[in-house]
Amino acid sequence: PSSGPRDEAATASRLSHDVVIVGAGFAGLNLLRRLRERDFTVVLLEASDDIGGIWNTNRYPGARVDTEGALYQFTDKELWEGWDYSQLFPDSAEIRAYFDYVDSKLDLRKDCRFNTLVTAAEFDATTDSWRGETEAGEALTARFLVMATGTTVTPYQPDFAGMDRYRGTLVHTACWSDDIELADRRVAVIGTGASGVQIIQSAGPIAKTLTVFQRTPNLALPMYQQDFDEAARAEIKRGLPDRYAMVPKTFGGIDYQFEPGNALDATPAEREDLYDALWAKGGFKFWMGNYADTMADPQANAYAYEFWKKQVRRQITDPAKVELLAPTVAPHPFGAKRPSLQQNYFQVMCRHNVEIVPVKENPIQEFTERGIRTADGVEREFDLIILATGYDNNTGAMNAIDIRNADGRRLKDKWAGGVNNYLGTFTNDFPNFSFLYGPQSPGGFSNGPTSAELHGGCLAEFFEFLRDESISRFESTEEADLAWTASIEEIIGDMLFSKVDSWFNAGNIPGKHRQQLQYPGGIPTYLEHWAAERASGYSTGLVLG
């Protein structure tokens, strides 16, 4: 509730902006655009030197998106009709070029401030506004603060013994710099998630030696990369309106659905036919286009794993690496960790200059001056060690900022024992504060640009409602936050995602409260929740004042 009568006009004139957005990726830029159209005064603060979010910072060799480029863009005709990606799965440089293109159309950079790290933000209950502080000591005030800080941003670096002793080059994939050479060097990669798979594909063919410290094999799926000529580009463009029309109707905000039937109800021949067809299509279709029970029923999931194993083992040319890369017994339910897309990963892993060290059986004991010693006592020497060890996903970027409510309570402390949000957007006790693509939103389970547009669209509409109704303050109720968390737990309880530690459930970070951090109900259901909230005048899970 509001703290009492106040002079709205006087308060507004004291605020530097209606809205401060933090983060210039798809989510932040989309919201900037949508709020500008509604005549809000908005500034977007970005820690790095340009727009593009993680695509501006992720520059390691091989970094590319694993959503088809056709869907990895904004969906309004004004933008897509003038843009073509050159490949089915564009690389990070081409996605940066896309952001340049968007800016050339929409002039977004003019409302962004780059190299502007937000270090703190505090809510002021007397003015119902936020005061943010930057690293340079600048203060900004706004009615509403929106974190569009991304979900895969804050690098996670395990605490290996002796790391500071190592004299070679040590780099996390998120911190890559262009002067790092792979060619003819003795390279180590720790981690085989999406980042690991991509950098291994780049390093293996050119490094002198490549040693991969693998804890869990990646159940990667075929990418089937394609280069597009002009005719292919034109054909893709013709299909875009229909594909975009599907996006809000699918679980992952993409252009295909899970197969309606269940694997358990299909005959072996029917299953094989569908698996063959999905495999041939490539991309995530074998995951998010598979039988509906694949992510829920252990037997259905086991069928999928057996097929995956059969396909992948055909690509493994070194018999000594078969069990390491495609084990007889599934390392975890297929798809419960986010699979990667691979182009020639298994071939690269089978090269003579590539060694796989299974660190579950033979853990990294310590870093030495020259390299890494494993528990078996063997020291391997490297010129370059690459940490592809992932991120403090979902909450890392927000927790890095000292965000406090009016009583001085820190968001980070509030979330330390578990995250409770409403709609993955609002959290009780933090008025006029919201976030996009973050914890308990469909973020990690959905296509990024889809989430940016649909989730961001809901938030922009909400802000417009507040302004139209002269409402200066909102927050979610504690009951709504708890109910949202409970609904997530209920849905995920029936799925296999919870059977393995991953960044979906914070299990990738030792000591982090383990909890499902993606909304697993799918985009259509998520949008229905927003629609219900809207229909109630935003009075179901929110308190307006």
Which residue ranges make up the site for ligand N01 (CB under 6 A)?
A: 64-66, 152, 158, 190-196, 198, 213, 215-216, 338, 359, 388-391, 503, 508
Q: Report in angstroms how near the CB of residue 437 gets to ligand N01 at its nearest.
A: 12
Question: Would you say 154 or 425 has its CB closer to ligand N01?
Answer: 154
Shortest Å distance, C-beta 441 to ligand N01? 14
Kindly state the smallest distance separating residue 241's Cβ from ligand N01, in Å: 25
DSSP label at 77? H
Encoded tokens for 107: 């002039």
Contact 305, 248 (CB under 8 A): no
Indicate the residue among 185 and 338 with the shorter CB distance to ligand N01: 338
Residue 306's identity, in one-letter code, is: E
Task: Please state, in angstroms and as integers, the Cα–Cα distance from residue 272 to each residue in 13, 311, 536, following that order.
Answer: 66, 12, 47
* Minimum gap (Å) between residue 446 Cβ and ligand N01: 11
> Between residues 62 and 457, which has the closer beta carbon with respect to ligand N01?
62
CB 432 within 8 A of CB 145: yes
Three-state SS annotation for 147-212: ECCCCCCCECCCCCCCHHHCCCEEEEHHHCCCCCCCCCCEEEEECCCHHHHHHHHHHCCCCCEEEE
Shortest distance (Å) from residue 198 CB to ligand N01: 6
Residue number with CB closer to ligand N01 (305 or 503): 503
Q: Which is nearer to ligand N01, 129 or 389 (CB)?
A: 389
Q: Min. distance of Cβ 92 from ligand N01 in angstroms?
A: 9
Distance, in Å, from the CA atom of 478 to the CA atom of 37, rounded to the nearest integer, reads 32
**Beta carbon of residue 507, minimum distance to ligand N01 (angstroms, whole number):** 8
Least separation, in Å, of the C-beta of 295 and ligand N01?
16
355 token code pair? 């060694």
CA–CA dist 143, 535 (Å, integer): 24
Taking alpha carbons only, the member of 333, 249, 334 closest to residue 286 is 334
| Of residues 47 and 174, the one with the C-beta less far from ligand N01 | 174
Residue closer to ligand N01 (CB basis): 283 or 522: 283
Nearer to ligand N01, 467 or 514 (CB): 514
Instruction: In whole angstroms, give the CA distance from residue 207 to residue 410.
Output: 46
Q: Which two tokens stand for residue 398?
A: 């927000």
Q: Residue with CB nearest ligand N01?
A: 193
Per the CB < 8 A criterion, the answer to whether 48 and 116 are in contact is: no
- Which C-beta is closer to ligand N01: that of 361 or that of 479? 361
**Regarding beta strands 17-22 and 139-147, do their DSSP bridges make them parallel or antiparallel, or are they unpaired?**
parallel
At its nearest, how many Å lie between ligand N01 and the CB of residue 517?
13
Nearer of residues 147 and 364 to ligand N01, judged by Cβ? 364
345 versus 484: smaller Cβ distance to ligand N01: 345
**What minimum distance in Å lies between the beta carbon of 363 and ligand N01?**
7
Distance, in Å, from the CA atom of 66 to the CA atom of 218, rounded to the nearest integer, reads 15
Which CA distances in Å does 405 have to 160, 202, 398, 409?
Answer: 36, 45, 14, 5
The answer to whether 353 and 205 are in contact (CB under 8 A) is no
Write down the least CB distance from residue 264 to ligand N01, Å: 28
**How many alpha carbons fall within 13 Å on the CB side of residue 477?**
12
Cα distance between residue 467 and residue 465, in whole Å: 5
Sign of CA dihedral 369, 372, 373, 379: negative
